[in-house]
Amino acid sequence: MTMLKTIAISFVSASALAFAAAAADSGGPLSIPVNVKLPDLKPLVSPCADPAADRFLEIDISQRPPAGATRVQRLSAWVTPDGVFHWPFVMRVRNIGDQPFMGKPMLQSAIVIEDEFAGKTRGKVAGETKFDRIPAHSSVAVRFEFTAPVEVVRKATFHRIYTLSLKYDELSDAIVTGKNGDCDLQNNSFAIEFDGSRKGWIFAK
């Protein structure tokens, strides 16, 4: 037992001497400049409420074609007997903050606007969902349909932009600066472009 202790003490002493020698060789104790600091980065999750236009477009699988419609299986779309192509989608506003959003009744909405370049029509409301409260990390869905005559889809002559945005009927101090308001108004819009002249058809703006 005594011999083992002696070996252990000798090993520790040798290690300490080696460390001291290395420190001496490097110019003495390590000195860190006082101005070294971590960068000021924005946290990934806001500590407040932050409703934001989600950067996604999803097929709305909750929608079902009406009786008499012909399914377009690969697209989860359908054609009605009047020759109109229907393609259902959903966009979402997500509260990406760590606090619930709490607004006033019926004074906030998530809205999808359709701008059609081929027909030169602008500002058509394609879908709208009013909301009062969004829990942290939860979302509000806005459903809409891309509709066009079958010939337009077949010839791929469509060109539209669908823009999801948040609309506040009353932009109060509580919305702008409150912990349960919207702490970042810069992420409240997201657009998707449907352009038949380009391969793939659908593109994020």
Q: Where are the domains of the chain?
A: 51-204
Q: What is the pLDDT of residues 76-101, one digit of tens each?
A: 999 999 999 999 999 999 999 999 99
Return the pLDDT at 100: 97
Return the pLDDT at 93: 98
Q: Of residues 205 and 193, which shows the higher confidence score?
A: 193
pLDDT level of residue 37 (50, 70, 90 thresholds): confident
Return the pLDDT at 28: 77
Q: What is the pLDDT of residues 128-169, one digit of tens each?
A: 999 999 999 999 999 999 999 999 999 999 999 999 999 999
User: From CA 44, how far away is CA 138, in angstroms rounded?
Assistant: 16
- Mean local confidence (pLDDT), 34-53: 85
Kindly state the DSSP code that residue 97 receives in the 8-state scheme.
B
Return the pLDDT at 25: 57
How many other CB atoms sit within 10 Å of the CB of residue 155?
10
CATH for 51-204 is 2.60.40.10
Return the pLDDT at 36: 84
Return the pLDDT at 31: 81
Q: Which backbone phi and psi does 22 adopt, to 5 degrees?
A: -65, -40
How far the first Cα of the chain sits from its last, in Å, is: 75
Please state, rounded to an integer, the average pLDDT across all residues of the chain.
Answer: 87
Q: Tokens for 129, please give them.
A: 């969902």
pLDDT level of residue 8 (50, 70, 90 thresholds): very low
